[in-house]
Chain A
Amino acid sequence: MVKYYTSTALFKYTWDQVAIALWQRYPNPYSKHVLSEDVVHREVINGKLYTKRLLTKTNPMPRWGEHFVRGPRHICVVEESIVDPKNKSLTTYTRNIGMQKLLTIIEKCDYIQNPENLRTTQCNRWAWFQSSFYGFRRALQAFGVERYKSNVTKNVKGFNTTLEQLFMTDIPQQTKTKQKLTEKAKHAVDLAKSKTQPLLTSSSQLP
């Protein structure tokens, strides 16, 4: 049985800005759980950029699991991505390596221009959770889903912080303070209104 989770987020920045920020989002105030980030493969094929990154993250175990399961303190995550500037599409596919039997989490994100407003970018996200650890499968999957939801919130906030830093620094200095205060307030409202519609479902039919 595989649990899955889907959500959509809206970034108030253009697709180009989001693509540029993707590579610069770590570190940010919400990414303290990310310990390192490296590109391990990169090439351009037919005008598309193919990249593979390796990230290490902290790996908190559920308290009830700490007595039964000795997991590593850090977990490695591989992120594959394809950037297609011609069609303005950016896809990331992230999975953990090591500890897959305990809990496998796979996430796919599609960043596309928001069809309702081409000056903004939509992020459609899917995640799958699977454990084959005898006796704790459901509990581990449930734990994985809850931790993931928390990480998605941090991910979106962190990405928005990077986007602000990169694309709000062109404002002339004399108007910067006033605009910054206004934008901060606006940003807080925008974030609250951002379209995040989590649909949490479990299914026994998925292979």
Chain B
Amino acid sequence: MNSIGEECTTLKRNYEDCFNKWFSEKFLKGNNEDDCAPLFKVYQTCVKKAIKEKNLDLDCMEKDVLGTEFEKPPPPVSK
């Protein structure tokens, strides 16, 4: 899948190849040691720049909702 910044797509794919391997072979088996940090850093630098150039609402994007008081409670179960 393409990145929001075309110039970041290759960096994204390099990172994803590493992440997918780490996730299935290490993380799911209880090993949290991060193998992909350098690739992630390079990818993030690129994508954050691309997001800024598109004038997206960064505050809204960076706000954490899941697991906080802002999260919507489940709707009532209908009888």
Binding site for B on A (CB under 8 A): 4, 6, 16, 19-20, 23-24, 26-27, 34-42, 44, 47, 49, 52, 54, 56, 76, 78, 80-83, 85-86, 91, 93, 95, 97-98, 106, 108, 126, 128, 199, 201, 203, 205-206
Contacts and interface: CB of A to CB of B under 8 A. Distances in A.
B65 A95 contact: yes
A78 B28 contact: no
Contacts of B12: 38
A98 B57 contact: yes
A97 B32 contact: no
Size class of the contact patch on chain B: 35 or more
Interface in B12-45: 12, 15-16, 19-20, 23-24, 27-30, 32, 34, 40, 43-44
Contact of B28 (A40, A82, A85): A85
Interface of B: 1-4, 8, 12, 15-16, 19-20, 23-24, 27-30, 32, 34, 40, 43-44, 47-48, 51, 56-57, 60-62, 64-67, 71-72, 74-76, 78
A199 B51 contact: no
B72 A97 contact: no
A166 B16 CA distance: 15
Contacts, number: 104
A48 to B, nearest CB: 9
B32 A93 contact: no
B16 A23 contact: yes
A76 B71 CA distance: 19
Pick the 7 closest A-B CB pairs, nearest first. Answer: A93-B66, A26-B1, A80-B66, A4-B75, A36-B4, A37-B1, A97-B60
B61 A27 contact: no
Contacts of A49: 23, 27
